[in-house]
Amino acid sequence: MYEFTLRLFKYNQGDRGKFWYSRKQARVGNPATRIRTNYVKLDSGRIVRYSEMTTNFRGKSNWDDAKYLGRGRWYKVETRRTL
């Protein structure tokens, strides 16, 4: 039982969560001079852009226009400079 609990804990920690995309949040972005684009690999295998991640599986997005993308793992971040 202990091994199962430990594996379940590791599986649900860190970069796993529920992912959301909000156009409003993506527009606001980072106030710094760099723009970050976040990507997630959903449990279905698709890689998509996201704007918010919640690690609490009961959580909801804080943005009113957010669309739920699904559960998955963080994939990568692309950063580019603005002019």
Which tokens belong to 34?
Answer: 């760099």
For the beta sheet containing 34-42, the strands, ordered from the edge strand earlier in sequence to the opposite edge, are: 47-50, 34-42, 67-81, 16-21, 52-54
pLDDT value for 35: 65
Most confident of 4-8, 53-57, 67-71: 67-71
> What's 63's DSSP letter?
S
**Taking 50 as the threshold, does the pLDDT of residue 2 lie above it?**
no
**pLDDT tens digit sequence for 12-37:** 445 788 999 998 888 776 555 466 78
Residue 62 region, left (φ>0) first, then alpha (ψ -120 to 50), else beta?
Answer: alpha
Please report the pLDDT score of residue 1 as a whole number: 45
Residues in contact with 63: Cβ distance below 8 Å, sequence separation at least 6, in sequence order: 20, 22, 24, 25, 51, 52
Structure tokens at 61: 């997005």
Token pair 């692309």 is at which residue?
A: 78
